[in-house]
């Protein structure tokens, strides 16, 4: 589903965010990307949605070479790759329902699809009862679940979570992780960038360890630290 071949990302000031990355993530995989801040986790995520281009190498998502996409092809890529962030990125002037429906509306879905799919996604994340609330009226966990629903509503093939629990307390963190496991079980390829060792160690999934832009470890059923 995702292939990185010999990928490096070098910034104009000469520093490398990623260096000589070879990575293969199959459809339906669940992989943690771990490493300290600045190890290159976020850059990797940004390459997948073509928010950045690799300096060298190839990034292939669902059979498409991301660097070769025309500007008009980028939206289609992003509909296949759902992404959530540590800071949720919800629209404060829209309700939970409107935030989720927004993704469908601006990608040109008809009214009936918008209604049905939004309800489905809200049901999946357990926020049907909070649909009329505004983000400021929600807990951090509920806000992240809204963001997850907004990504899921597009039925993406790949789901990328960039530090999804960075702002959440331990109990809420587990809530979100369980939800992500559920998303993966439903068939979506899942990539979770985190530096929460407890989660990684408890789940024993694939672990890709980044350090200074290089992969220093890639284990099936791995732990946070070697």
Partner 1 sequence: MTRIAYVFTAAWQGFSRNPVMSIASTLTIALMLMLFAFFVVTDRGLQSAVALLESKVELVVYLSDDAKISQVLDVKARIEKDPAVSRVEYVSKDDALKRLRDISSRRADVGPIEEIGTNPLPASLEIKLQSAQESRRVAGELRAEIGNGVITEVVDNPQIVDKLLTITRVLSFGGLAILLMMLFVALFVIVNTIRIAVHARRDEIEIMQLVGATDRLVAAPFVIEGMLVGIFGAALALLVLFTASGPVTAALVQFLDILPVSLGPNFVAELAAGVLGVALLMGAGGASISVRTHLAK
Considering only residues 73-132, where is the footprint of partner 1 by CB under 8 A?
Answer: 74-79, 83, 89, 91, 102-103, 105-111, 114
Q: Shortest Cβ distance from residue 193 to partner 1 (Å)?
A: 16
Stretch that binds partner 1, among 53-61, 69-77, 179-187, 197-205 (CB under 8 A): 69-77
For residue 193, which of 15, 1, 35 has the smallest C-alpha distance? 35
Task: State which residue, 94 or 195, has the beta carbon closest to partner 1.
Answer: 94
Q: By CB under 8 A, what part of segment 136-175 binds partner 1?
A: 150-151, 154
Binding mask 22-61 for partner 1 (x = CB under 8 A): ---------------------------x------------
- Longest CA–CA separation in the chain, Å: 50
Q: Does 64 bind partner 1 (CB under 8 A)?
A: no
Smallest distance from partner 1 to CB 208, Å: 23
Residue 84 CA to residue 145 CA, distance in Å, equals 10
Query: Minimum Å distance from CB 87 to partner 1?
Result: 11
- Round to whole Å and give the CA distance between 5 and 16: 16
The whole-angstrom separation of Cα 138 and Cα 201 is 29
Min dist CB 109 to partner 1, Å, is: 7
Whole-number Å distance between alpha carbons of 157 and 141 = 24
Of the candidates 182, 183, 225, the one whose C-alpha atom is nearest the C-alpha of residue 200 is 225
Q: Going edge to edge, which strands form the sheet with 206-211?
A: 81-85, 158-162, 189-194, 30-34, 206-211, 214-219
Shortest Å distance, C-beta 72 to partner 1: 7
CA angle (69, 77, 213) in 5-degree steps: 80
Q: Enumerate binding residues for partner 1 (CB under 8 A).
A: 49, 71-72, 74-79, 83, 89, 91, 102-103, 105-111, 114, 150-151, 154
């Amino acid at each position: 589903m995702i292939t990185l071949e010999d990928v490096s990302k070098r910034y104009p000031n000469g520093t490398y965010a990623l260096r000589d990355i070879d990575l293969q993530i199959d459809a339906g995989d669940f992989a943690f990307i771990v490493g300290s801040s600045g190890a290159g986790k976020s850059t990797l995520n940004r390459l997948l949605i073509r928010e950045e281009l690799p300096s060298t190498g190839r990034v292939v998502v669902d059979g498409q070479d991301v660097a070769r996409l025309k500007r008009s092809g980028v939206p289609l890529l992003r509909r296949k790759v759902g992404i959530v962030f540590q800071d949720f990125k919800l629209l404060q002037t829209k309700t939970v329902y409107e935030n989720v429906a927004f993704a469908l509306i601006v990608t040109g879905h008809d009214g009936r699809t918008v209604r049905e799919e939004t309800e489905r996604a809200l049901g999946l994340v357990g926020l049907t009862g909070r649909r009329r609330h505004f983000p400021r009226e929600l807990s951090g966990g509920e806000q992240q679940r809204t963001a997850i629903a907004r990504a899921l509503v597009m039925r993406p093939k790949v789901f990328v979570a960039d530090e999804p629990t960075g702002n959440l307390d331990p109990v809420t963190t587990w809530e979100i992780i369980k939800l992500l496991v559920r998303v993966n079980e439903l068939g979506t390829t899942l990539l979770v960038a985190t530096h929460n060792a407890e989660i990684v160690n408890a789940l024993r999934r694939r672990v890709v360890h980044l350090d200074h832009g290089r992969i220093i470890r890639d284990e099936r059923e791995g732990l946070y630290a070697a």
